Structure 1
Amino acid sequence: MLTKLTLTEAKLFLRDPAAPIAVAGIPLGLLLVFGLQPGIRQPSADFGGQVPLSAFIAPLALAVLLGMLALTVFPAAIATYREKGVLRRLSASPVPPSRLLTAQLLVNVVAALVVVVLVLGVGTLALRMAAPANPGGFLLVLVLGALALFAVGTVIAALAPSGKVASGIGSAVFFPMLALGGVWVPKEQLPGFLRHVADVLPLGATLNALRQAATGAAPSAVQLVSLAVVAAGCGAVAVRWFRWE
């Protein structure tokens, strides 16, 4: 039953071209627009002698991807189902509503995985970007970052009464994280206090830990712990307050 439900949710996800185009187009667009700029594939003193394309642009594209899916697309879909009474009807059927939630999570995670492969593939093959120098750490951060961001998204989905409200809340969470997490402005250019904030916010911790793993360093313990705490804390809140109707 979960397989059929997941396939149905995948078809619905692909039927609306806006979501797939945005989810794939924005990260790839960021990679290509910045990746084709002069000097972006050369070591830069602004990035500690690292190549900006692999040390910042690619991690940025992946962090934005996870943030979009987890904080806007996923919660809006679940809240829309609540608004239309789909969750209430499922709660009275033999199919547990939790399966719909699981199916939605699976669709979004698979979409994220596909775009991650596209970003890394296009970067390495078309732009001659270096692969992550610490692949194990890079993968760990992607998993922890996805868990933390989707946990935040599940809290939004748990509380929002409608899809529009969920989109509004998601945007209100997503865009400040872009500003404070080192996305719009690299962490090194933020004031001292905000550098610490960037390593604690889920989106900033994901981006900055990906940056470190991409250059061969180990992700900071602060970043990893903050992601784990957000994933556990928001997951517990979502389970406690999730409403099916």
Structure 2
Amino acid sequence: MLTKLTAAEAKMFLRDPGAPAVVAGIPLALLLIFGLMPGSREPSAQYGGQSSLATLIAPMAVAILLGVLALNLYPGAMAAHREKGVLKRLAASPVPPSRLLAAQLVVNLGAAVVAILLVVGVGRIALGMALPRNPGGFLAVTVLGAVALFSVGTLLAAVAPSTRAANGLGAAVFLPMLALGGVWVPKELLPPLLQHITEVLPLGATLSSLRDTAAGHAPHLLPLVSLAVVTVACSVLAARFFRWE
């Protein structure tokens, strides 16, 4: 039954022209626009002798992609199912509503995998971008960041009564993370206090750790602990407050 639900949710995701366009378009646009700027592909002392494309722009594209999926598209889809009574009908059927939640997670994580492969592939082939120097760490951080961000998204989906409310809550959470997460302004340019806040917020912690691993370093402990704490806390709260109708 999970396979059928996942297939149905995937069809709905693909039928909406906006969702695939946003998922693939935003990270690729960021990569190409900034990657074609003069000097972005050249080694820089500011980035440890590596290019800003590989160590800043590509990690930023991946982090923003995960944030859009987890904090905007996923909660909105779940809220739409609640608003239309789909969750209520499932609750009265032999199929547990949690299967729909799992199917939505599978679809969104699958979209994330495809988009990340596109970012890496286009960056490598079209722009000559170096691959992450710590590929295992980059993969692990991507997974941990996705889990943390989707746990936040699940909490938003748990309390949003309608699609409009979910979109509003998602924007209210996502936009401050962009501002304070080292996306709009690289964390090195932020005041010391805000640099610490950056590494605590889920989006900032993900981006910071992706940048570290892309440059060949091990991620710092604080962002990893933050992501783990956010995952546990938001998952517990989502399970406590999730409403099926």
Which interval holds the TM-score relative to the shorter structure? over 0.9
Percent of residue pairs bearing the same amino acid type: 66
1:72-98 deviation per Cα after TM superposition (whole angstroms, max 9, x unaligned):
000000011111111001100111100
TM-score (norm 1): 0.99
Shift of 1:9: 0.2
For 1:187 and 1:43, the matched residues in 2 are separated by: 20
User: Secondary structure of 1:9's match?
Assistant: helix
Query: Which residue is 2:194 aligned to?
Result: 194
Query: Which residue is 2:218 aligned to?
Result: 218
Query: Which residue is 1:120 aligned to?
Result: 120
For 1:143 and 1:163, the matched residues in 2 are separated by: 27
For 1:226 and 1:136, the matched residues in 2 are separated by: 20
For 1:115 and 1:21, the matched residues in 2 are separated by: 10
Shift of 1:43: 1.8
For 1:171 and 1:45, the matched residues in 2 are separated by: 35
Shift of 1:44: 2.1
Query: Which residue is 2:39 aligned to?
Result: 39
Counterpart code for 2:123: G
Query: Which residue is 2:180 aligned to?
Result: 180
For 2:201 and 2:48, the matched residues in 1 are separated by: 23
For 2:47 and 2:166, the matched residues in 1 are separated by: 36
For 2:204 and 2:50, the matched residues in 1 are separated by: 19
RMSD: 0.7
Query: Which residue is 2:84 aligned to?
Result: 84
Question: Structure 1 regions of 5+ residues with no counterpart?
Answer: none
For 2:44 and 2:202, the matched residues in 1 are separated by: 27
Shift of 1:125: 1.1
Query: Which residue is 2:5 aligned to?
Result: 5
Query: Which residue is 1:135 aligned to?
Result: 135
For 1:43 and 1:184, the matched residues in 2 are separated by: 22
Query: Which residue is 1:109 aligned to?
Result: 109
TM-score (norm 2): 0.99
| 1:54 matches 2:54 | yes
Question: Structure 2 regions of 5+ residues with no counterpart?
Answer: none
| Larger deviation, residues 28-37 vs 40-49 | 40-49
Query: Which residue is 2:163 aligned to?
Result: 163
1:143-164 deviation per Cα after TM superposition (whole angstroms, max 9, x unaligned):
1000000000000000000011
| 1:147 matches 2:147 | yes
